[in-house]
Every structure is written in C-alpha cells, then in structure tokens.
C-alpha cells in the first residue's frame, strides 16, 4: 500500500473493527437503570453531565467557598446537571476531555451540542428506553461486548445478584468479580464473608483459606466472571512483610484459585482514594506505584495470568519493560487520569515500540453508558494515527503494509488480544 491512502485506510479499518471493551462500570438493564433509585445502569443526559470527572471540574469554576459541597449534594440530579452545564459548557468552553466527551456524544447521537439548557436533550432522552439505548450506543461506538465491574462487597449490588442469579445474563455484557476490600481492608472483607455464612477469621485460623476460596469460587460461578479485578493503592507491595494478611491472601487463596480456573487477576494500581471526600466519587487521586511488585508476582506465579494497568504516567515505561520480561503480564488501557489524548498518544506509541501489538491500548472505564460513544471515538482516532506513523516507518524501508495486515492488527488490539488472554 502506498502512503497516499494509508491514513484513510487505517482509520476506516480501526473504525470498522468492533471493540470488546474490557473494563467499564456499565450494567445490564436487569440491575435497574437511572433514574430508578438503586438503578445501577447509568445513562442519559443528566448522568452524563454529572459524571464525577465533571463534578471535580465544576468545583474549580465555582469553588466550595461559593457553593458549599453540601449544598451541591443536596441538589437534585437535574439541578446538579443544570449547574454543571451552565458553568462548564455555556459560560466556559468545554475543552477538557471530560467536557469534550459530552459534546462528542451529543453530536454522534445526532443532537445539537450548542443548547444553552438541557431541556431539549432531556426531551430526546425521555423518548429512549434503557434496553434499546444500549443497542444504539453499542452500534454507534462499534462495541461488541461490554465488560462490567461487579463489586461483591457492595451491599446493593450483591443483594441484586442473590435475588436474581440471572441478572448478568445478557449477551451484550460480561461480568467481572471485583474484590478490592480483600487487599484494601481484609478485616471488613472477613466481616462481610462471615455475615454471609463463611467460616473465616482475620488471622487465617481454622478453615479461613478454604472458606475464602469457596466464597470467591461461588461468586465467580454466580457471575460467570471472566476475570477477577482489584483497584490497589500506590503503596501496594508484594511481598509485603508489613502486611502478612495481604501476602497470605495472594499466595494461599487468590493465586491458586485463579491458576486452577485459568482466570486472570486484573490489577489496577495507583488509586489513592478520597483525598477530598467532599467530592465523593470525584475525590480520588493518583500516586506512583511499585512496578517491582508486579514483577515479583509474575516471577512467583508463572502459571497465573496478570492484567495490569497503572494510574501514574511516571510508571508507564517501566511497566512496558516489565511486560517484555513476562508473557503472563498483559497491559491494558490508559486508565482514568491517563485517558487524555496527549497521554493516550504517548502511551500507545511507547507500547507499540516496546511491545509490538501484544497489548490492549484502551478500555473505556465508562460509568455512564453514553460515554462509550465518545471514549471510543476519541481513542480510535489516536490509536489509528499512531499506527499510521508506525506503518509509515515500515513503508520507508520497503516493507509491504497491506490492508489484510492492518485488519489483523486492529482485531488484535481492539478485541482478540483480550479475548485470547481471558479464554479458559
Ligand atoms: O477503580 C476503578 O475501576 C476506577 O476506574 C473508578 O473507580 C474510577 O472512578 C473511574 O471511573 C475512572 O475512570
Ligand atoms: Zn474503572
């Protein structure tokens, strides 16, 4: 292929390639949907505009000294959305990635993104139903599967699973067992498991190891989970002599169970929770993590599969080099505060240069269903542009880049690398 139509061809192939989105916070409609109380599937303009990224940003424009946090949180969802729309989209230019995403989504839904109020958008969304809207969003975003995040220690969600074991049975979705408290707060995890009838003790005495494995195994089966996930603090260390419970959980429970089942452990490391609790979900921050702990895990558990994404930009090069050393270390996504064009481009270029096409460049982390539209639109463009650059390097030295090769690469990056890694 000559370079004159390379860019157009690569962008078309990347756009036409369905994505398997390996990490989101979206849910099947059976979990209930906004605006139902306790509805876990969030969608529509008021959820989109009150996304926690935008809550953090609006408190920069209208600080808590002017609008106290409590006053904001006492507003209705619509009042919060009106406040954010006014200050971030009308009185200021929505150039942040979080704001831009809302504009892209409205545009791709066929709506005029220049409205001064949310009235017309609310009218349009009131004519949609959650179940059909899922299909619409997946079609526009060209997403063929949405991977959920299913925190078993969240009381509301756990009760929904227990009340309706088929709640996750929707061919458009896959489930993931999320178990942060097992390492972030072992005593509370033990307490919840005991309340659910599992004979476990904080000091691992008695039948704790078998009973915790039984708890995890039963939930993996109930959810048909395709991997087990945790968000971990920047301080996460393995091994960690100062936290023997964490080491015992990993060595005696999680690693043997995941190895037996062929399930990956997805580690999302670097989230320092609630540095500003008044911002609620928007109150978390980033911290530099210890890549050597990931290396130690890959060394000690060569038969386990590790999916890893780190939250700090400063960790990315070291993590890429670590992935060159261990085939069971699988890198994915530009997580959270890294999910910005400038950093996605830098990380994707670095990963191509160090890992070829043996990684997954992006996940959406969509908390609001509608976000699939913008998160994938924005990332596909960047991934395609970096690929064009790399293909041009090859064409410069007479390597034949063909549409067949580009299609193979696009399928690996956006769907098959992940599906192959989690296949059991
Ligand atoms: O731990 C996680 O899964 C994070 O992605 C979320 O907690 C975070 O709030 C988020 O949605 C980032 O995009
Ligand atoms: Zn997430």
Give me ligand 2 centre to Cα 395, in Å. Answer: 38
**Structural domain contains residue 160:** yes
For the Cβ of 365 lying below 6 angstroms from any atom of ligand 1, the answer is yes
Cβ contacts of residue 184 below 8 Å, gap of 6+? 230, 232, 233
Which of 19, 24, 81, 26 is closest to 51 using CA atoms? 81
Does the residue 399 lie in any domain? Answer: yes
Which residues are paired to 267 by β-bridges? 230, 308
Examine residue 275 and state whether it is found in any structural domain, yes or no.
yes
pLDDT score, position 258: 98
Q: Which atom of ligand 1 is nearest to the CA of 336?
A: 13
Q: The pTM is what?
A: 0.98
Domain assignment present for 119: no
Give the rounded distance of the alpha carbon of 76 from its chain centre. 27
Q: CA nearest 290: which of 238, 254, 255, 335?
A: 238
Domain presence at residue 393: yes
What pLDDT sits at residue 4? 86
Q: Looking at residue 174, what DSSP letter applies?
A: E
Q: What is the distance of C-alpha 103 from the center of its chain?
A: 21
Question: How many domains, in total, are found in the chain?
Answer: 1
Ligand 1 centroid, distance to 389 Cα (angstroms): 31
- Beta strand 285-286 with 271-272 is antiparallel
Could you give the CA distance from residue 316 to residue 323 in angstroms, rounded to a whole number?
11
For residue 237, being part of any structural domain is answered with: yes
Q: Is the CB of 367 under 6 A from ligand 1?
A: yes
Q: Which domain holds residue 19?
A: 3-27+142-422
Residue 290: the pLDDT is 98
Q: How far is the CA of 98 from the centre of ligand 1 (A)?
A: 14
E strand or H helix at 210: helix 208-223
Task: State the closest ligand 1 atom to the C-alpha of 339, by its place in the atom list counted from 1.
Answer: 13
Segment holding 103, helix H or strand E: helix 97-108
pLDDT along the chain (424 residues), means of 10: 91 98 98 95 98 98 98 98 98 98 98 98 98 98 98 98 97 98 98 98 98 98 98 98 96 98 98 98 98 98 98 98 98 98 98 98 98 98 98 97 98 98 94
d(CA 331, CA 297): 14
Residue 62 lies in a domain: no
Residue 355's CATH number: 3.20.20.140
Query: What is the CA(365)–ligand 1 centre distance, in A?
Result: 6
pLDDT of residue 2: 77
Q: Is residue 35 part of a domain?
A: no
């Amino acid at each position: 292929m000559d370079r004159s139509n390379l860019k157009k061809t690569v962008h078309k192939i990347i756009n036409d390639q369905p994505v398997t989105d390996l990490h989101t916070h979206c849910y099947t409609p059976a979990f209930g949907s906004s605006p139902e109380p306790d509805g876990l599937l969030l969608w529509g303009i008021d959820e989109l505009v009150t996304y926690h990224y935008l809550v953090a940003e609006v408190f920069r424009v209208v600080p808590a000294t002017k609008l106290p946090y409590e006053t904001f949180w006492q507003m209705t969802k619509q009042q919060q959305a009106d406040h954010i729309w006014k200050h971030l989209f009308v009185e200021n230019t929505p150039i942040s990635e979080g704001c831009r995403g809302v504009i892209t989504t409205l545009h791709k839904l066929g709506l005029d993104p220049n409205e001064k109020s949310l009235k017309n958008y609310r009218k349009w969304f009131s004519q949609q139903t959650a179940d059909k809207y899922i299909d619409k969003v997946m079609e526009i975003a060209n997403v063929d599967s949405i991977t959920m995040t299913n925190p078993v220690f969240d009381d509301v969600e756990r009760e929904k699973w227990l009340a309706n074991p088929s709640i996750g049975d929707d061919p458009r979705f896959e489930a993931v067992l999320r178990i942060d408290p097992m390492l972030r707060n072992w005593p509370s995890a033990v307490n919840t498991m005991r309340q659910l009838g599992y004979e476990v003790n904080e000091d691992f005495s008695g039948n704790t190891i078998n009973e915790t494995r039984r708890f995890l195994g039963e939930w993996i089966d109930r959810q048909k989970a395709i991997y087990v996930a945790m968000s971990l603090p920047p301080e996460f260390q393995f091994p960690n002599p100062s936290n023997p419970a964490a080491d015992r959980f990993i060595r005696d429970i999680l690693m043997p169970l995941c190895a037996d089942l062929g399930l990956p452990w997805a580690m999302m490391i670097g989230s320092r929770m609630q540095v500003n609790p008044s911002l609620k979900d928007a109150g978390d921050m980033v911290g530099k993590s210890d890549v050597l702990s990931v290396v130690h895990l890959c060394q000690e558990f060569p038969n386990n599969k590790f999916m890893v994404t780190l939250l700090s930009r400063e960790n990315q090069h070291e993590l890429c080099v670590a992935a060159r050393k261990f085939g069971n270390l699988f890198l994915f996504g530009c997580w959270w505060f890294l999910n910005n064009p400038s950093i996605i481009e830098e990380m994707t270029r670095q990963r191509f240069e160090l890992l070829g096409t043996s990684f997954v460049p992006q996940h959406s982390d969509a908390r609001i269903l509608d976000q699939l539209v913008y998160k994938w639109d924005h990332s596909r463009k960047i991934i395609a542009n970096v690929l064009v650059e790399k293909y041009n390097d090859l064409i410069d030295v007479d390597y034949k880049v063909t549409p067949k090769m580009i299609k193979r690469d696009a399928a690996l990056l956006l769907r098959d690398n992940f599906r192959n890694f989690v296949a059991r």
